[in-house]
Structures are given as structure tokens and as C-alpha cells.
Structure 1
Amino acid sequence: MTLSATNGNHAASAGDPRERLRAAGLRVTKPRLAVLRWLADHPHATADQVATAVRRRLGSVSTQAVYDVLHACSNAGLLRRIEPAGHPARFETRTADNHHHLVCRGCGRTEDVDCVHGAAPCLTPSCTAGYAVDEAEVVFWGYCPDCRSSATEPEDLSDHHEEGRS
């Protein structure tokens, strides 16, 4: 299993955001540009984190406007929305491959993990029930190094592994 760089330097986030918006059939607006540019450098951000960053850059932008941008860009394939169980939805610009994620049970920190077997879909279900499978989503759960080092009792973290919830 290989951890990927999360600096946004992937094929999906390469190129001018203006051109990417136009190619996706979306109008080029300041909020859309601000969202795409910020997420390229801050993958796995929540909608609230994006809204705060966009407001810092542009001034007054409503939360609804940011949600609308995230929705439109996700639908157009410019952003990927991931929803780890028990955590808020997160957004990233890395959309051109079938990668997976590591999520910290403690703080929610999320990291990219390249596909376990390479080409999409990297996992073949035992039964497709007639579906044409085009993507597999895998979330690896555990504790990030920061949460592991700040644990008050080492066995706090090992209990999950012993219960088969690694």
C-alpha cells in the first residue's frame, strides 16, 4: 500500500482552473475559482473549512454559495466528495484515478492511498448483481501518528485492533 502525496499535484488538479471549469461546461466565477484553487492545496477539506478559506480570500461569500460551488463542481467531476462514516463530507480535486483513503478515528485526518491493485476498479465484488462496476471505494481506518502519540494509555488504541476494527 502506497501513500500518495496530498499536495494536489495530480492530473485532475493540473491546469488552469478557468479552463477546467469551461471544459466541464461551468461558468467561471470568483467563488468557483477560489474553491478549486484552495482545495488543490488543501485536499480532504470540509465544506466549512472551504467556506472559511474562500471568505478570507474573497470577502463576503455566503455558506450556501460555497455549498452550491462544491455541489456543481462535484457533479461536473472537478471535485470528489468523500463521506467517511461519522465524519463530515470532505472534498478533493484528485478525481482522475480510483484512489482510497486513510481516516483517523481520533481527529478525522484523511490521507490518500493509491489503489490497492492499480486499475479501476481495483476490487472485484464476488457478485455484481447485474451492476456495471466502475469504481471501488475503500476506507482504511486507524489512528494518525499525532493521535497515537497523544494517547493517554497505549492500550486505548490497541483495543480497536484486538476487536478486529483496525
Structure 2
Amino acid sequence: MSRHQTSIVAELRERGLRVTAPRHAVLEWLIGHPHATAEQVHRGVSTRLGAISKQAVYDVLSACVAADLVRQIKPAGHPARFERRTHDNHHHLVCRGCGQIEDSDCHIESAPCLQPVHDHGFEIDEAEVVFWGLCRTCQAKARQAAT
């Protein structure tokens, strides 16, 4: 068993989840494919496991998000994305053109990195920041289309 496989088994057990082939395959696949949609996860895991329903993938993702093994991000106007990078203070850059998503580490190591002017009595433990713009490829396409 590889280091990743051992780690995944331990993570599932630590969170009180049964170790199943679909859970293991989803978590392992997401290591190399951050910011994937559920559809992309389904296609990737299907090549490893063979027949697996989309609903099974959604169920695995839901359980893993609830167990804090997977982070779900929901950029406006785009399908939900999933990544294994949890337990740190990072944000995302989203391209308005092609939808590409990249991680952006926060300048402040501990969460939250922003404080509202008035917290209305909330005990704030996280701030979600999404930066929007155009990636280099879409910038080049826009410049080319303008000429």
C-alpha cells in the first residue's frame, strides 16, 4: 500500500467513515485533480473503478465534505468544485473566461484573514474570498480578438 493509500485509509477511519472503494478512489483522485467538478470526479473515478453511479460519487463527496476531508467551493455561475486542500487559510482565483481556478495563499496564516466592520455578535472563524479576473490564456484571447 502506498503512502497516499495508507493516509487515506487513516483519514477515513479517523473521521469515523468506513473505508470503501468509492471513497478511497474519490479521495485519491482528488489529490491530483484539485478544483474538480462532481462530473469530472465521476469520469476520473470511473476509469479506476469501472462502473460507479454519479449518485454514488455525489454521496461520497457529500460525506467527505461533511467529514472535512474535502473542501467544496461554489464560485458564482459555475458548478461546485472539490479539492483535498483543507485545514489551511487559502482563497481562490477564478477566470471569468474559461472558469479555471487556482489557489491563492492568504497573507495571514490563521483564519479568518478579514474582519468585518461590525460582527453583529458572530464568532467568526472563516472568511471566504474569491478573486475574479481573466487568466493569462483568456487575456491573450481577448487582446487578439480586440485587434
Fold conserved between structures, TM > 0.5: yes
1:1-166 matches, within 5 Å, as 16-151=7-142, 152-154=144-146
The TM-score, its normalising length taken from structure 2, stands at: 0.92
Q: Which runs of 5+ in 2 are unaligned?
A: none
Deviates more, 1:110-119 or 1:38-47: 110-119
CA RMSD in angstroms, aligned pairs only:
1.7
The gaps in structure 1 that reach 5 residues or longer are: 1-12, 156-166
Work out whether residues 20 and 78 of structure 1, in 8 Å CA contact, stay in contact via their aligned partners in 2: yes
**Structure 1 residue 116: deviation in Å?**
3.3
* Number of aligned positions between the proteins: 143
Shift of 1:154: 4.5
Distance in 1, Cα, partners of 2:52 & 2:129: 34
Q: Could you state the TM-score of these two structures normalised by the residue count of structure 1? A: 0.82
Supply the distance in 2 between the matched residues of 1:43 and 1:119 (Cα, whole angstroms): 22
The 8 Å contact of residues 117 and 123 in structure 1, kept in 2 or not, is answered as no
Q: Distance in 1 between matches of 2:81 and 2:37?
A: 4
* 1:119 to partner: Cα distance: 1.5
* 1:15 Cα deviation from its structure 2 partner: 6.4
Question: In the alignment, is the contact (CA less than 8 A) between 2:72 and 2:83 conserved in 1?
Answer: yes
Deviation at 1:153, TM superposition (A): 2.9
